[in-house]
Amino acid sequence: MTKLYDICDAALMCTFKAFGDFKVLGKENVPKDVPIILVSNHLSIIDPPLCASAVGKEPRFLAKKELFRFPINVLLKYYGAFSIKRGFTDIKAFRWSKQQLKGNKSLLVFPEGTRSKDGKLKHGYNGAIILALATESILLPVSVTGTETCKNFLQFLYPKMKVRVTIGDPFTLHNVPKDRNKSFINSAKSEMMMRIANILPEKYKFNKEIYKEKNFIYTKKI
């Protein structure tokens, strides 16, 4: 992306290796030479750069508009972030995301829409599924654990925490109906969230009654 991105990424990894315990599991599952949509749980402000480093595809991502204040906005832009208005259907952000994928760039999405307050996976939104439909992109489930103790950017300097980033099996949408109806999109979204839950430790999983799908009908592992 840029030299500054590489410098920031290297500095983050050096800091974690020096003061923390950071491991990536499932790196072999990352598809090569194709743009992908990474879908992950969300615990902390540090999740985007850690996921980016773990996967290694320099993914772009969306961040709430409130974060784009100096000097953090400079770092976010170099990390490939784009501001989004939460609580609204942000057409501009959707078009930007679609453009990134069409331009052979990967995208990081947090389907929950915000950080989990108790660490457990919550309801997801449909955005990642709609993007996958619009661009025929591969989806890659990712889970992050241990970052919930990081509450502010100052902890980047001394990240004394045990962090695990687990990368699951890539998948695509399957049995897509011609009308791409809302029922299909909701079911595919639920399957996507289950795929994230399947690579999370038990204490981070949601109450499984939230999602009714027990079989994967509309998503297919590749």
What residue ranges do the domains of the chain occupy? 3-221
pLDDT, averaged per 10 consecutive residues of the chain (222 residues), comes to 72 79 95 95 90 88 71 67 74 92 93 91 93 96 93 68 95 94 94 94 74 77 94
- Strand-pair category, 138-145 with 36-40: parallel
Alpha-carbon distance of 96 to 219, in angstroms, equals 25
DSSP 108: E
Q: Are 88 and 107 in contact (CB under 8 A)?
A: no
Tokens 């599952």: give the residue: 29
pLDDT of residue 155: 67
Domain 3-221: CATH architecture, name and number where available: 3-Layer(aba) Sandwich (3.40)
pLDDT of residue 123: 87
CB atoms within 10 A of CB 172: 14
CA distances to 4, 15, 162, 174, 185 from 217, rounded to whole Å, are 43, 42, 35, 7, 12
Q: Are 212 and 128 in contact (CB under 8 A)?
A: no
Signed CA dihedral, 76, 82, 85, 86: sign only: negative
Amino acid (one-letter) located at 90: D
pLDDT of residue 37: 97
